[in-house]
Amino acid sequence: MVLDKLGSSLKDALSKVKNSITVDRTLVEEVVKEIQKSLLASDVNVRLVLELTKSIRDRAIKENTSGLDKKEHLITIIYEELSKFMGSGEEFELVADTQNRILLVGLYGQGKTTTTGKLGMYFKNRSKKVAMISTDTWRPAAYEQLRQLGERIEIDVFGAPELKSPNEIYSKFSDELSKYDVVIIDSAGRDNLNDELVEEIISLNSIVEPTDTFLVMGADVGQTAQKQAQAFKDNLDVSGVIISKMDGTGKGGGALSACSIVNAPVRFIGVGENTEDFERFNSEKFVSELLGMGNLEGLLEKARLAIDEEKAQDMGTRMMSGDFNLNDLYEQMGAMKKMGSMSKIMNLIPGMGNLNIDSNMLGAQEEKMKKWKFAMDSMTKYEKENPKEISTPRVERIAKGSGMELYDVRELLKHFKQTKKMMEAFTKPGNMDDFDEKSMEDPNAMMDMMKKFGGKKMMKQMMKQQGRR
Ligand SMILES: Nc1nc2c(ncn2[C@@H]2O[C@H](COP(=O)(O)OP(=O)(O)O)[C@@H](O)[C@H]2O)c(=O)[nH]1
Ligand SMILES: [Mg+2]
């Protein structure tokens, strides 16, 4: 696994917490020191290390432990702060309802061209019509490299190495490019970010008007990462970082620091030379793996349940007011996913673990939710807010845009209607009669509700029911 050295030293710091008898200031200090040492050894920027460890220390001392014991609380804080440092937030999604133009920038040799192909493949696999364009006028072989890559992975490539400037190249093809859902622009690099390159990229940026600009950086850049990142940030609106060559180094902390400097999350990582060696980056998942979360997972779920309580309350209030729409459903599905697989969630609920619910059934439901998320990404804001207005032509467009079958989109809309009905039953007093204690005890009825609902409010309801017995 990538960054395994950092991982093993962070794990050591965590076992210190786990094996301690009490959590006091001395322990917090000791653990903070260990974390500092491990991060610095992985080339993470010193200032960032100090900031990060300061928040861990402050939170560990000040925060109230919200239902967790002190050790659990400290471990949760370490996990949360590390995830935040790596740019937590939603996973990358394309901007809906418009052509996405993704500009890749970075110094020479950082992996831009390779990453152009990887990103292209990533979107092609998600049923998008993808084009790649080479705007590197510096190295004559640059276009050829991308052209061959495109031929291999069957993605259209544009480029005109005989032209003098990136702008000329992009303008030459702008009509043709308008036919694609996603256009990935591979730009030129230099050994250094000199004025010439800055000027070239700023001017290319103004012609392309990218929906996203990703800074590509090799995991092996070390301490120079901050300087590079800062220079690009000063001149461009960098919306994310892609770290390539994560497979080739035990360090990589330098590149990870870059996202903190450009103030944008790590979006993808490259883990090899081949097109498929590419992963969407999720800082929480990454940190879980880094910390060897197998044994921590239960704890984190417990912490999330406690913390999300508030958010669930919020959602509940909104639903009470009767305007539950597809955005809420989306959020619900996201919250579910965050808590882990359905079977794990079932295990967390007192009494549910022993019900022996068919795991195939749960798996199938999870698959469906994945598809529905794709479908919802292809809806407009208006459609998500007014699901009733989604007519057949719209269903067709959504299916096409997300690469789903008509059937999938219709099923999603049906699921939404049922969920909405369910919400009303839960939120309006008196309507609970349909879902009395008896049906709560019947695993099938329960599953039915779980399927229809898929939300936290319902879990809370169930837990209340369980507690009442
Ligand atoms: N091991 C490994 N090598 C990579 C990765 N990404 C790019 N490379 C290699 O890094 C070198 C430079 O890549 P290139 O895409 O040409 O960089 P560019 O100059 O920024 O366009 C090439 O030899 C690539 O094969 C990666 O994720 N892992
Ligand atoms: Mg290149």
User: What are 458's two structure tokens?
Assistant: 């319902």
Distance 218 CA to ligand 1 centre (A): 8
Atom of ligand 1 nearest to the CA of 269: 27
Ligand 1, atom 13, residue with closest C-alpha: 111
User: What are 193's two structure tokens?
Assistant: 């970010």
Evaluate if residue 468 carries a pLDDT over 50. Answer: no
**Eight-class DSSP state of 276:** T
Res. 154 pLDDT band, cuts 50 70 90: very high
272 lines ligand 1 (CB under 6 A): yes
Highest mean pLDDT among 231-235, 281-285, 435-439 belongs to: 231-235
Task: Give the C-alpha separation, 357 to 353, whole Å.
Answer: 8
Task: Give the C-alpha separation, 410 to 377, whole Å.
Answer: 15
Ligand nearest the Cα atom of residue 244 = 1
pLDDT: which is higher, 289 or 100: 100
In the prediction, which pLDDT does 438 show?
41
108 lines ligand 1 (CB under 6 A): yes
Closest listed residue to residue 454, CA positions, set 298, 338, 292, 290: 338
Chain region(s) in the chain for CATH 3.40.50.300: 100-287
User: What are 223's two structure tokens?
Assistant: 């301490």
Full 3-state SS string of 100-132: EEEEEECCCCCCHHHHHHHHHHHHHCCCCCEEE
Q: What is the pLDDT of residues 54-111, one digit of tens each?
A: 999 999 988 877 667 788 888 889 888 888 887 766 778 899 889 999 999 999 899 9
244 lines ligand 1 (CB under 6 A): yes
Share of the chain above pLDDT 70, in %: 74
Atom of ligand 1 nearest to the CA of 110: 20
Fold of 4-85: Four Helix Bundle (Hemerythrin (Met), subunit A) (1.20.120)
Task: Give the C-alpha separation, 114 to 416, whole Å.
Answer: 41
Distance 106 CA to ligand 2 centre (A): 9
Task: Give the C-alpha separation, 221 to 231, whole Å.
Answer: 15
In the prediction, which pLDDT does 431 show?
46
Res. 401 pLDDT band, cuts 50 70 90: confident
Chain region(s) in the chain for CATH 1.20.120.140: 4-85
Lowest-confidence pick of 32-46, 200-214, 332-346: 332-346
Beta bridge partners of 243: 217, 269
What average pLDDT does the segment 155-181 reach?
Answer: 95
Beta bridge partners of 241: 215, 266
pLDDT: which is higher, 332 or 203: 203
Lowest-confidence pick of 48-57, 200-209, 222-231, 322-331: 322-331
Chain region(s) in the chain for CATH 1.10.260.30: 296-468
Evaluate if residue 336 carries a pLDDT over 90. Answer: no
Ligand nearest the Cα atom of residue 135 = 2
What average pLDDT does the segment 178-200 reach?
Answer: 88
Evaluate if residue 247 carries a pLDDT over 80. Answer: yes
Share of the chain above pLDDT 90, in %: 31
pLDDT: which is higher, 460 or 177: 177
Res. 207 pLDDT band, cuts 50 70 90: very high
151 lines ligand 1 (CB under 6 A): no
Res. 454 pLDDT band, cuts 50 70 90: very low
What average pLDDT does the segment 380-387 reach?
Answer: 87
What average pLDDT does the segment 238-251 reach?
Answer: 85
From 132, 273, 274, 277, mutation site for ligand 1 pocket: most ligand atoms within 8 A of C-beta = 273
Res. 404 pLDDT band, cuts 50 70 90: confident
* C-alpha 419: how far from chain center: 25
Yes or no: say if 191 and 108 are a contact pair by the CB < 8 Å rule: yes
187 lines ligand 1 (CB under 6 A): no
Residue the block writes with tokens 């883990």: 271
271 lines ligand 1 (CB under 6 A): yes
150 lines ligand 1 (CB under 6 A): no
Q: Where are the alpha helices (DSSP H) in 339-454?
A: 342-348, 359-377, 381-385, 392-402, 406-427, 437-441, 443-453
In the prediction, which pLDDT does 443 show?
47
Ligand 1, atom 1, residue with closest C-alpha: 272
276 lines ligand 1 (CB under 6 A): no
Yes or no: say if 158 and 132 are a contact pair by the CB < 8 Å rule: yes
CATH class (in words) of the domain with range 296-468: mainly alpha
pLDDT: which is higher, 464 or 84: 84
Lowest-confidence pick of 146-155, 156-165, 287-296: 287-296
Evaluate if residue 2 carries a pLDDT over 50. Answer: yes
From 146, 244, 247, 274, mutation site for ligand 1 pocket: most ligand atoms within 8 A of C-beta = 244
Q: Which CATH superfamily is domain 100-287 in?
A: P-loop containing nucleotide triphosphate hydrolases (3.40.50.300)
DSSP string, 305-350: HHHHHHHHHHHHHHHHTT---HHHHHHHHHHHHHT--HHHHHHHST
Distance 84 CA to ligand 1 centre (A): 27
Res. 326 pLDDT band, cuts 50 70 90: confident
Distance 35 CA to ligand 2 centre (A): 36
Distance 241 CA to ligand 1 centre (A): 15
Q: What is the pLDDT of residues 219-229, one digit of tens each?
A: 888 778 888 88
